[in-house]
Every structure is written in structure tokens, then in C-alpha cells.
Structure 1
Amino acid sequence: MPDISSAPSTPQQAGRGQAGPSAEPATSLVVGLDIGGSKTHGALWADGVLVGEARAGSANVQNVTPDDAARNLAELFRELTPAGGADVAQVVAGSGGVDTAGDAERLRGLIRPHAPGAAIDVVHDTRLILAAGGARTGIAVIAGTGSVAWGVDGEGREARSGGWGYLLGDEGSGYWVVREAVRRTLHRYDAGQQPDDLDAAVLALNGVATPTELIGLFHSGAGRTYWAAQSRAVFDAARTGHAEAGGIIERAAGDLMQLVLDVVDVIGLPGPVVLGGGLAMHQPDLQARLRYRLSDRGIDDVVFLDRDPVMGVQFLVADSGRAGR
């Protein structure tokens, strides 16, 4: 694999000897993809220099149809490689829902038309999280639209907890947080209680007047991404002192902590706990509660990513290159 360990964290202008149309062709183009439940983030490196980024809708076929995934990937590659992907040497794609060899091959099939000559490596998106934290061993946690933890020790032993999808799990995720808020609103309505601030926020975000309208909407085709985006209502309410909103966040922190402890039970704690995903990266209240809970269990090496997980591709490719020497 090409060594891209020296790549900077911000794109460089094409046309300075890297990837501009008037420059010499790059000797090595690498595309990184972070395929989440809500969006796909792509990055392009030319000879180890980050030269472009693009975003599109999710290409995770557990969240969208295969046709939608294909359209979103086509949109992303058009923006990321406007001259076409024929010169791309390697694609590294991290995605949720990659649980079997068949899952990985199906994703390769969606990517291959856009980089026909490339080696396509597909990994679970938790690997990008750990790599973006600069760690070879440790435990990666995603708390975004869904939730999952994965870890690896120095001997290559791996363990995972969660990542089963919203019907079986995803506790502590954005979807779970807002589902609990919707359930609370419905319970209060059934008990004859008037809507409070959190109930009113949930109703307003969905453009409905009564809690019963939420039932049909929740069972419609709105999708997990739609609901997960509304988790902000719970965090906003908690910031104003809403005790039950704070309780939902506290339970989310407890569920995410349990994912970590499940992995620790199998592989020990070989390195840091690195957390990514929209909820983990952008909600300080959840961060503080989770950090406190983990510290109480003797886990203090906790890192919340401050850069996009797709940048972990740099580390993975460079690390693979070192291992191959």
C-alpha cells in the first residue's frame, strides 16, 4: 500500500504538482470513505497529500436501498474525482453493516464502477475511529445514528459489542435517544398529562399537533436518519434543566459504557477508548457523563475524536505499508 502517513489534515490546492489537470498524473491516488448511517464522507490523497473531500448521502445498505446507495456513491465520486476514478490505485472504505465477507463484497461491488482499477479494502467503520485516534490497539466506539464498540489487542485478538441495528440494539445512539423521547411523550399523553417543553419540542420538530400523530409517523418511511437528527431536542432540553431529558442522556451514557465494558471483558484494555460518531463528537453533555462513568470503572484513557473518522484511512494505509516492508 502507498505510504500516506505524511498527509496533512487539510486539503492542499490541486495544480501544485499533485493532482491538478495541468500537472503530471499522480503516481498514487487513494480514496478513503467513511460510510455512516446518515452520510458518506470521502477523501482523496495524491502521493500522500490530501487534495479533496466530498460528502453525499449514506451508502450503508442497512440504512438505504441499494439503488440509493449506488446513487449516493456516484454523486460522491463525481465530486471527489471529477476526471474519473480510473487512476485511483486504492479505496479504503469503512462502513457499518459490514459483518460478513458477503457484506464486504457487496459494498465493493457498489464502489468498483467508480474506481475500476483500484484495490478496494472494506472494513467495519469502527476501525476508522481507532485509526483516526492514531491507535493500533484499543477500543473504538461509535455513537451516531447507531452504536457499536470494537476493540483489538496487540496480538490481534478482536471483540465487538452492539452494532446490531435499531431493531436489535443501537442503545445510546441518536436514534435511541429520540425514540425514548417520543415514547415518553406518548406515555405522558396516555396518562392525561399536558405536553411539557420536551414534548412540545418533539411535536414541533415533526410538524404535528398531537402526540398520537407521532405513532403513524414513527412507523412510516421516515427512517433512522430522520429521527436521529432530532436527538438535539433532548440535549437542548437537558441544558435548560429538564430532569427527564437529562435522564435519557444518562441512560445513553450507561449503555455506551456497557459496550466498552463488554469489549474489555474479552480483550482487556490494550489502549485508549476512542469515540466517534455525531453524538459522541458533538454533544459535550454526553461526553462528560460517559467520561465520568468510564473513569469510575478505572478507564481514564478516553479520547473523543476532534477530526473526521475518514482521516483514519491515512493511518491504516501507512500502517499497512510499514507492516509490508
Structure 2
Amino acid sequence: MKQADLIAGIDIGGTKTHILVKDSGRVIADKVVASTDWRIWDREKDAAALAALIKQTAGGKLFATVIGAHGCDTDLHCKQLESDLAPQLEGYIKVVNDSELLVPAAGFQSGIGVVSGTGSIAVARNADDEMLVAGGWGWILGDEGSAAALVREAARAVRGAIDLGQTNDPLIAELMAKLRIGDPTKIGRLLNDTRSAAIWGGYADAVFAAARQGSPLANRVIREGAEALAALIGVLIGRGADARHVVIGGGVVVEQPMLFDAFVDAMSNLSPASEVTLLRAPPVTGALAMAERFRNGILGMEKFNGK
């Protein structure tokens, strides 16, 4: 097996870690494990466990490895993980935020990646290859347009409607049914008791079910969530991001066409020249695409330099 032929792409999410290994243009390993199987949020131990997992999956000497890591929200975080892995993992290593995998996974060289899943975040690079991040503050402070935030805003909309004596909107009944309660005044207490973005996000179907019934409240929540996601793009454009390609992915936007359509509408007002793409492919394919470009670039330079 030639060293130059073996590359790996890894997507480290909050719940799962996906590893792809490619040799001579063919994927030879495709492995998914729970991130909690190896990650305990201890830098030294996590780096050792991740390196061991990658080497075990690859089964040979790697030329290039690209990792998209949840929690690497600054260039410093990414460089730290690269440094931690370097003594334990052979070959070239590149670490980026996991949201950065969306653009290459869609086949583009540059652009803005947006995640709308349990949480939300937008990430890009400027001309100096500096990471630009907007959002990603968690469901308590933000994460607008995410599943958890849509439920949060739906609950607020229901609260406001009930205060005004408006109790006939379908969103009220759908949210109560999803929460399995018979009294709408208990919505706030139940959500407060759970305090989990994953659990809250699991209730998001109620918002879209109500919207399909013509709920003004639900449709407003979806529209405003999509506009907030587009606003993240606006922030990054203002900081020098290349917005020719905007790639959005994540569980809620992939599964709910109403949110994607609303996002496209919001983007048409914010940045009409942007091409918006919905990513259905696994983001890890973006890491593998980056590793392949990285390998080809290095080999090309070596050939150019006569090595």
C-alpha cells in the first residue's frame, strides 16, 4: 500500500463520529461510532483516543487526514487539536470546524457552510484563511433557526397568543400533543424542567405540522427562524466571507422543506447573487474531499520541486 494513496476524512459531531478512508480512489473504510465512545473532553486523552481510532480504521500509513470537529470554534482550537494529534498520527493533518465540511461536501472550493440541526451555526474563511464564525451560541443564547430554537420560539408565540386570549391557533394544540400535556399553561414549566437542546429539538415536528394546517403562529416562527439563519450569512459577508456558494445542512433543514424554502426566500433578499445548496450527502464526504485536494496539492508541489 502506497503512503500517497491513503487518506482519511473525519466528521466529529456532538453525537457521532464518522470516518471515511480512501485508497487509490476507492473508499476502503466507512465507520461510525458514538462520539462519547472516545471523547471525554480531556485534551490529552481525547487526542490519544482519536488517533488510535483513526489508525485502527485506516489500517495503514496515512498520507493526509482532514478532521471537521464539533467544538473547534476558532483557529486556535483547530491548531491545538492538530498539534495534539501530530505526535500520534502520521502524515499531514488538517483540523477545521465540522460546519466547514458542508461546502466541500457539496463540491465547492469555497463558500459559507450553515448548519440547522439541533443547534445552528455558520462558518466560512476569509481571503487570509481566517475562520469566520457566526452563531453557534447554544439554544439558551441563540441557535436561531435550529430545531431547539424553533421550539423555544413556538412556545413563546403560544404564550403570547394565550395572553391575548387567542387559543385557536393549530400550533397550540400541536405543541400540547407533542409535549403530552392537556393544559397550555404547563408548556413553559415542562420545557424548563427538561433543559435539553436535544429533547427540545425533538418537539420541532409540532411546529411544521401546525404550519401545514395554516397556523399563522407556526408560519411566523419558521419564517423568522429562516431569516435569522440568513442573518448569520449577512454577518459573515460583512466580515469578508465569499458568499457565492451557501451550503446548508443539518437534520431539521434537510427533513423540513418548509424551513429550507423560507431560508432560500430570506437569502434572495439578503444576497441575491448567492447560490444556495441543500446538502443531503454526509458531511464527512467534505473532509475526504479536502484530504484529497490536500494530498494532490502536496504531491503536485513535490513533483514541481523535483522530489
TM-score normalised to structure 2 length: 0.77
- Distance in 2 (CA, whole Å) between partners of 1:60 and 1:254 is 36
Q: Quick check: 1:46 aligned with 2:15?
A: no
What is residue 201 of structure 1 aligned with on the other side? 174
What is residue 278 of structure 2 aligned with on the other side? 304
Q: Quick check: 1:285 aligned with 2:262?
A: no
What is residue 33 of structure 1 aligned with on the other side? 10
What is residue 97 of structure 1 aligned with on the other side? 71
- Distance in 1 (CA, whole Å) between partners of 2:247 and 2:273 is 12
Q: Choose 255-264 or 29-38, whichever is displaced more.
A: 29-38
Residue by residue over 1:4-57, the C-alpha shift from the partner in whole angstroms, topping out at 9 and shown as x without a partner, is: xxxxxxxxxxxxxxxxxxxx8998554433233454433333343223434444
What is residue 318 of structure 1 aligned with on the other side? 292
- Distance in 2 (CA, whole Å) between partners of 1:117 and 1:155 is 27
**AA of the residue aligned to 1:278:** G
Q: What is the Cα deviation at residue 160 of structure 1?
A: 2.4
Q: What is the Cα deviation at residue 202 of structure 1?
A: 2.4
- Kept after mapping to 1: 8 A contact 2:157/2:217: no
What is residue 253 of structure 1 aligned with on the other side? 226
**AA of the residue aligned to 1:225:** A
- Kept after mapping to 1: 8 A contact 2:244/2:273: no
What is residue 139 of structure 2 aligned with on the other side? 166
Q: What is the Cα deviation at residue 66 of structure 1?
A: 4.0
**AA of the residue aligned to 2:9:** G
Q: What is the Cα deviation at residue 261 of structure 1?
A: 0.8
Q: Choose 218-227 or 253-262, whichever is displaced more.
A: 218-227
- Distance in 2 (CA, whole Å) between partners of 1:42 and 1:139 is 23
- Distance in 2 (CA, whole Å) between partners of 1:314 and 1:243 is 43
Q: Secondary structure at the match of 1:321?
A: helix
Q: Quick check: 1:139 aligned with 2:136?
A: no
Residue by residue over 1:52-110, the C-alpha shift from the partner in whole angstroms, topping out at 9 and shown as x without a partner, is: 4344445599xx9649xx99xx89x98x98x6666362543212321246744786799
What runs of 5+ residues in structure 1 fail to find an aligned partner? Answer: 1-23
- Kept after mapping to 2: 8 A contact 1:188/1:195: no
Q: Choose 92-101 or 164-173, whichever is displaced more.
A: 92-101
- Distance in 2 (CA, whole Å) between partners of 1:211 and 1:260 is 35
Say how many residue pairs are matched: 292
- Distance in 2 (CA, whole Å) between partners of 1:108 and 1:235 is 41
**AA of the residue aligned to 1:249:** I
Q: 1:238 to 1:54 in 2, by over 3 A?
A: farther
Q: What is the Cα deviation at residue 122 of structure 1?
A: 2.6
- Distance in 2 (CA, whole Å) between partners of 1:111 and 1:233 is 43
- Kept after mapping to 1: 8 A contact 2:244/2:274: no
- Distance in 1 (CA, whole Å) between partners of 2:84 and 2:164 is 49
Q: What is the Cα deviation at residue 284 of structure 1?
A: 1.4
- Kept after mapping to 2: 8 A contact 1:140/1:151: yes
Q: Secondary structure at the match of 2:153?
A: helix
